[in-house]
């Protein structure tokens, strides 16, 4: 009887370790150079945020953001819990980046960026701001989208702009190529 109880306790005590050990973590690399990021990811698609609307490959769920003057203009706060999530609609990604500016209305709380991993789970990328330039990342684990929330800097909010959002599809993801005559050709990246 004592041996059975001991085995039960061993199982109960080892379960958190097993669960922790099976949690997937993505290995991330962050970049402040667009050229270095571009070289690391190879091919990517660009969301230009022109006033005609989003590219057909870009999805977004936002609390307050909008396209304004060929930029994504947004505001997030810790107290309000606002967020914006960008998604590549044709599959998963292994990298993303863009030109970020957290100073349209002075510097604020900063931005926290989190990946929503393919198959479940999340991975924190980092907090940015103050920033007025390129910031991007690559991940060895595929992700479906990434979410932007307010960071932990002093202030009551973070108003930011994002230009030229670049998303790097994972290998085998179908990406559209728009031909000059307006026909769409779908191809797989090499």
pTM above 0.95, yes or no: no
Domain count, the chain: 1
* CATH code of the domain in which 37 resides: 2.60.120.430
Residues comprising the chain, all counted: 190
Range of 91's domain? 25-170
Rounded Cα distance, 176 and 174, in Å: 7
Q: What is the pLDDT of residues 148-189, one digit of tens each?
A: 999 999 999 999 999 999 999 998 654 554 444 443 333 334
Phi, psi of 18 (to 5 degrees): -65, -45
Q: What is the pLDDT of residues 51-73, one digit of tens each?
A: 999 999 999 999 999 999 999 99
Residue 162 lies in a domain: yes
Rounded Cα distance, 46 and 162, in Å: 12
Q: Assign 79 to helix, strand or coil.
A: coil
Residue 4 lies in a domain: no
Residue 20 lies in a domain: no
């Amino acid at each position: 009887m004592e041996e059975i109880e001991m085995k039960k306790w061993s199982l109960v005590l080892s379960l958190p370790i097993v669960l922790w050990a099976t949690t997937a973590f993505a290995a991330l690399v962050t970049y402040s150079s667009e050229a270095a990021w571009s070289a690391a990811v190879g091919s990517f698609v660009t969301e230009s945020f022109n006033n005609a609307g989003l590219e057909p490959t870009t999805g977004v769920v936002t609390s307050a953001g909008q396209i304004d003057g060929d930029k994504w203009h947004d505001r997030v706060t810790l107290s309000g819990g606002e967020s914006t999530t960008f998604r590549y609609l044709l599959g998963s990604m292994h990298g993303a980046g863009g030109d970020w500016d957290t100073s349209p209305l002075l510097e604020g709380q900063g931005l926290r960026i989190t990946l929503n991993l393919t198959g479940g789970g999340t991975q924190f990328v980092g907090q940015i701001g103050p920033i007025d330039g390129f910031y991007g990342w690559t991940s060895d684990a595929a992700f479906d989208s990434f979410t932007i929330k307010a960071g932990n800097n002093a202030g009551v909010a973070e108003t930011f702009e994002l230009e030229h959002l670049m998303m790097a599809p994972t290998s085998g993801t179908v990406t559209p190529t728009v031909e000059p005559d307006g026909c769409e050709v779908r191809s797989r990246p090499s």
